[in-house]
Structure 1
Amino acid sequence: MAVKERVGVVVSDKMEKTVVVAIESRTTHPRYGKIVVRTKRYKAHDEENQCNVGDQVRIQETRPMSKTKRWAVVDILTRAVKA
């Protein structure tokens, strides 16, 4: 069985040991052919609270850790630039 992995951007880090990761998918509209951007948000487990808003991360599907949390942060690909 293949392990599901996604790459997305952290949009919230206000919870303890949890981050919200937004993943964009680009698909063409079936009738009009225009590219439509859809965003799906996943809650992911971040054990050491290392992620910050704007970081690009890879998440992996895991066992259910809470009512809505079924993903875990595997690694941080790029850090957000501090302004």
Structure 2
Amino acid sequence: MAVKERVGLVVSDKMEKTIVVAVESRSAHPKYGKIVARTKRYKAHDEENKCHVGDRVRIQETRPLSATKRWIVTDVITTAAQA
């Protein structure tokens, strides 16, 4: 079975060892053809608290870690200071 991975932007880092990542998916509207952007927010585990708001990160699906957390941070692609 393939491992699910997403790339998104950190929108909250206020929790301990947890971040909220917004992943934007863009698709054409079925009838009108206009590109529609949809945003889904995932809670991801950040063991060292190294991610901050504005960072672009890669997250990977894992076993349930809490009531709402099912993703872990695998890679920090860019930091907010670089962007």
TM-score by length of 1: 0.96
- The aligned length equals 82
| Partner residue in 2 for 1:29 | 29
For residues 47 and 81 of structure 1, the distance between their equivalents in structure 2, rounded to whole angstroms, comes to 21
Identity %: 77
| Partner residue in 2 for 1:66 | 66
Structure 2: unaligned runs, 5 residues or longer: none
Offset at residue 81 of structure 1 (A): 2.1
| Partner residue in 1 for 2:52 | 52
Deviations 1:19-47 (A, max 9, x none): 00000000000011100000000000000
TM-score by length of 2: 0.96
Q: Which amino acid aligns with 1:77?
A: I
Please identify runs of 4+ aligned residues in structure 1 that moved more than 4 A.
none
For residues 61 and 34 of structure 1, the distance between their equivalents in structure 2, rounded to whole angstroms, comes to 30
